[in-house]
Amino acid sequence: MVLMRLFCFRLSVRLGSIIVGGCCILETIVTMVTLAASGGAQFFLQEALYYEENMNQYNPHDVFLWLIVVCKTNAEMFFTCTMICMALYLPCCGAMMVGAYFMKQYLLAPFVLVELARLICITLTHVIAMMVIKKSINVGYLIALTIAGGFALLLLFYLWGCVVALMQILRIVRSPEYIAVFGDNPLAPVNLGETTPPMNAHPTREWNGTGLKPTERNHINKNLERLPPTELSTGQFNGPNMLIDDFRPLHSRYSYSWAI
């Protein structure tokens, strides 16, 4: 089952995936520049010393204590590893955008895996952070921060789900079942009412279910046999608009100029 068919209730998942990739690249670049401008390794060292001196105000979680020790003893290595991870994340975003534009499923896979790992780390960081600061702030503020972080994580997982949905749709539109019904061009699917006669002069005939008279078998372009629409109503191939091209107005479902 496809996770979603439209991105933000308006755009296709193909265009949505490109937007997601651009947002992730912008977010990563801003984070890298901010860390570098804040002092890099010196910033992590100062933060570790501050939290160590004021540990009585926070809940001493094991992961939090381990992070303080790492930033105190190997701040330079921690900063370098963080920057390398973010630098390796950028090509995954770029490859995903290219894969979404040219509809290449294998270019989407690295981003899906890396982004899932990143979201898991962000989720664990949020949970641990709320456990650490629960002694130092008001309960109302703690609840507000927890809810706000939960909604932010929900948004991030929604953006990740858009790329996953695009992978699912690409798998569907490349399948023989979909091609047999709508053709091999997912950006311009064949309408169910459009058929072309067979190449030979004598059309192929077959007996229908009642066995009373022969019926002609319909063919679509490129001599692909068309499956009955009833076979699609109960399955996952329930319409031709599995992938909408937002980059060509001729094949776009939108008539607005801003729909690219």
Number of residues in the chain? 260
Burial of 172 per CB tally in 10 Å (0-12, 13-18, 19+): middle
- State the alpha helices, DSSP H only, in 74-175: 75-102, 109-132, 139-173
* pLDDT confidence bin for 6, thresholds 50/70/90: confident
Question: What tokens appear for 147 in the block?
Answer: 């809810």
Check residues 83 and 183 and name the one with the higher pLDDT. 83
Check residues 149 and 239 and name the one with the higher pLDDT. 149
**Residue-wise DSSP of 138-160:** -HHHHHHHHHHHHHHHHHHHHHH
* pLDDT confidence bin for 14, thresholds 50/70/90: confident
Per-residue confidence (pLDDT) for residue 180, from 0 to 100 = 81
Check residues 11 and 154 and name the one with the higher pLDDT. 154
Which run of H or of E encompasses 216?
A: strand 214-216
Per-residue confidence (pLDDT) for residue 34, from 0 to 100 = 93
Question: What tokens appear for 176 in the block?
Answer: 């023989």
Q: List, in order, residues 6 or more apart from 95 with CB less than 8 Å away.
A: 107, 110, 111
What backbone phi and psi angles, to 5 degrees, belong to 76? Answer: -65, -45
Query: What is the tens place of the pLDDT at every residue in 153-186?
Result: 999 999 999 999 999 888 888 888 878 877 777 7
Q: List, in order, residues 6 or more apart from 18 with CB less than 8 Å away.
A: 97, 100, 101
SS3 206: strand
Query: What is the tens place of the pLDDT at every residue in 189-229?
Result: 776 554 444 444 444 444 444 544 444 444 444 444 444 43
Average confidence score pLDDT of the chain: 77
* pLDDT confidence bin for 98, thresholds 50/70/90: very high
Query: What is the tens place of the pLDDT at every residue in 52-79?
Result: 888 888 888 888 889 999 998 898 999 9
Per-residue confidence (pLDDT) for residue 137, from 0 to 100 = 86
Percent of the chain with pLDDT over 70: 72
* pLDDT confidence bin for 252, thresholds 50/70/90: very low
Where are the domains positioned within the chain?
Answer: 1-181
Per-residue confidence (pLDDT) for residue 254, from 0 to 100 = 32
